[in-house]
A and B are shown apart, each in its own frame.
Chain A
Amino acid sequence: MSGTFLGMPAAPPRGSGNLRGAESFPAAARTELANTQMRRNVGKATRTIRDKRVQVTGELPDWEQLRSAGAAIKRDVLSRLPELLEQFEQAVIARGGQVHWARDAAEANAIVTRLVKDTGADEALKVKSMATQEIGLNEHLATEGITAIETDLAELIVQLGEDRPSHILVPAIHRNRSEIREIFLRSMPGVDPDLDDDPTHLADAARRFLRERFVRARVAISGANFGVAETGTLSVVESEGNGRMCLTMPQTLITVMGLEKLIPTYADLEVFLQLLPRSSTGERMNPYTSMWTGVAPHDGPSEFHLVLLDNGRTATLADEVGREALHCIRCSACLNVCPVYERTGGHAYGSTYPGPIGAVLTPQLAGMDTGGSDPNSSLPYASSLCGACFDACPVKIDIPSLLVELRHQHVEEAHFSAEQLMMKAASAAMSTSGRWTAAQRAAQLGRLLGRGGRIRTLPPPGNAWTSARDLPVPPKQTFRQWWDSSEGRAAIDDAHREGGRR
């Protein structure tokens, strides 16, 4: 059965998993802002990638046409998603693959766990993948007695450091070489105790640690950058060769793919293989790209499983404005140009998806209304709306407009709108001069709340306003008080005399 339409369409449910932080963006950002090492590392990285990206995108005279094509292909996919999903499924099966569907994170985790257990292995190699991070797969596998080993160098650093990724592309960018050396010495089994902090030696240590695991691996788990509906082809782009190892060495390969990663035809790869590397790492092409279609006899895994993941994607699709976020190809260009991200780093966003696109995607996938203090409701405000992310996006996602739309939805959905209440109060206060004077005197009490010239939290209902921003403390005197003071009168008399002389 497919394409069944059961009467009135119902809004699809939101997703679950690592899509919500423990605290609001401003609270988390405050902690991160105090980490000067992190800020220095992230700042250096984003500046470097930013400059490289501008250089290599400028090389292509048809860059804007490629962006337009990329955006249109993604729009086309979403508008024809049911037929393309079924076509994709059939193509994968026809080439010897097996397709599984997952409604949410828990279901995807259960499917992958069962597939790994079926191989008899208690260890699975992993290619860096946002989808499996989103569903918390590694943590789930651990509770089932299966060790997931991250093979991307940065992910390995994060995993061994019992840390969280802070960037889509370079997850350990908040760590410098001496921190990485310490992590390896502390947590990498069999590491040379004389290891220094030269990046070449650190990379070599990771090579030694993983090489033997690659050669004996029975099962690996990956994500996918693209899935081609027409042919059933899947693709992973990378640099190190750890992806190639995981995709070809084990007997069993399990790929978890968000259903928005679909593209209609094999020829469409010509667009995205140009847009992605240039936007992402600022390279003309990433060192390695793997493309496979089901199972190839005598070459690579003999068993291939594809897990198609919803987890809030259909809920996002149901929003005709917000669905544009599903065009995202996870290049991270928007992170690298964002003045907010540059200062806070990725941890402040609390979700698998940081930065401007994360501020849009996370609330849409997982919702932002789990009560008054849902951290996701602060994400649409984690932006200065400067528009740099829109300019950088290779598939032209209008992130600023989406953020404004989400702010609107948040205000509409709030049980009472604090901002509306405050505006009403302000209007009443301004209606007569007596009330206005009283209100201004009252506002001076606000000085008691401030520290260092800023008010960080107002009492309710004003806390809804300060949850996403600081306020300057009110001045010591109102303008009227100054006007009535001897200092004010003297200044006005001076001004009169000066005017008279002219």
Chain B
Amino acid sequence: MNARDTVLSRVHDALAIAPPPAVRVPREYRRDRELPAEQKRELLVDRLEDYRATVHQCVAADAATTIAAALGDATRIGIPAALDRGWVAEFGGEVLVDSADIPAARLDELDGVVTGSAVACAETGTIFLDGFSDRGRRALTLVPDLHVCVVALSSVVAGVPEAVARLEPTRPTTLISGPSATSDIELDRVEGVHGPRTLHVVLVLDS
């Protein structure tokens, strides 16, 4: 027998030796929660700041100015091809429009990156990127040291179940909760090991 058939027949044998009862999974934990926008905003900002992300709040009309300010000293940035160009209209530096054939070494030369996001979870301060549309492929939000992530308040949900329900499983999905961090040395938290050391979140309130 090949390994696959052997392992599967072992599983059958194990369950025949000790037959398990059928199981009903209790789902009494909180799901499908709705929160008023103001509460979601407060919770998300609190959690993001707790993770040492910098939060900027603005209305859609001021997004370009806010994003340019969040980019600070950056002179070369990358953006996903589908990003709203209006968002980087106030940025004075060089803008690289990402595509799949741009090698990682070139991304490593960028100072920062601006992307959108799919959904955000207020209770944990987690932003979900799914590689679709203006969220960028995974390498783009990973290699440059500064990530400016635009989150629409309308895409913020209360908890993890509500966020997972909005995802498309076949898309490569990255969950970010603050900048890269390690606690491996005496449990002292250090921001930034291999991912972006700085995360700026631009929360657009009226989109």
B interface bracket (residues with beta carbon within 8 Å of A)? 35 or more
- A9 engages B125 (CB within 8 Å): no
Tier of interface size on chain A: 35 or more
Tell me the smallest distance from the CB of B199 to a CB of chain A, in Å: 9
A4: shortest Cβ distance to chain B, in Å?
6
Interface set, chain B 145-201, CB cutoff 8 A to A: 159-161, 164-165, 167, 169-188, 190, 192-196
The distance from the CB of B84 to the nearest CB of chain A, in whole angstroms, is 20
B186 CB contact (under 8 Å) in A10, A73, A177, A211 = A177
CA distance A320 to B17 in the complex (A): 9
Q: Does B28 contact A (CB under 8 A)?
A: yes
A423 to B141, CA, bound (A): 67
Chain A residues with Cβ under 8 A from B123's Cβ? 284
Contact call A72/B172, Cβ cutoff below 8 A: no
Is A151 a contact of B172 with CB atoms below 8 Å?
Answer: no
Q: Is residue B92 within 8 Å, beta carbon to beta carbon, of the partner chain?
A: no
A69 touches B104 (CB 8 A): no
**Which B residues lie within 8 Å of A151 (CB)?**
194
A6 at the interface (CB under 8 A from B): yes
Provide the residues of chain B in CB contact with A292, threshold 8 Å: 172-173
Q: Are B180 and A287 in contact (CB under 8 A)?
A: yes
A78 to B180 Cα, complex, angstroms: 35
Q: Which residues of A contact B105 (CB under 8 A)?
A: 215
* Residues in B neighbouring A29, C-beta threshold 8 A: none
How far is the CB of B154 from the nearest CB of chain A, in Å?
Answer: 21
Interface stretch (choices B1-9, B55-63, B70-78):
B1-9
B124 contacts partner chain A, Cβ-Cβ < 8 Å: yes
Taking the closest CB of chain B, its distance from the CB of A296, in whole angstroms, is 5
- Cβ-neighbour of A240 out of B7, B9, B18, B193 (below 8 A): B193
Provide the residues of chain B in CB contact with A6, threshold 8 Å: 9
A286: chain B residues within 8 A (beta carbon): 177
List of A residues within 8 angstroms of B36 by Cβ: none
Residues of B near A228 (CB, < 8 A) are 169
Q: Which residue of A95, A103, A199, A214 contacts B170 across the interface (Cβ within 8 Å)?
A: A95
Which partner residue on chain B sits nearest A67 by CB separation? Answer: B29
Take A240-B194, A284-B124, A288-B180 as given contacts and tell me if A76 and B23 are in contact as well, using a CB distance cutoff of 8 Å: yes
Do the beta carbons of A85 and B11 come within 8 Å of each other?
yes
| A149 in contact (CB, < 8 A) | no
- Shortest A69–chain B CB gap in Å is 6
**CB pair B160 A203 closer than 8 Å:** no
| Nearest 4 Cβ contacts at the A-B interface | A241-B195, A298-B100, A320-B18, A9-B13
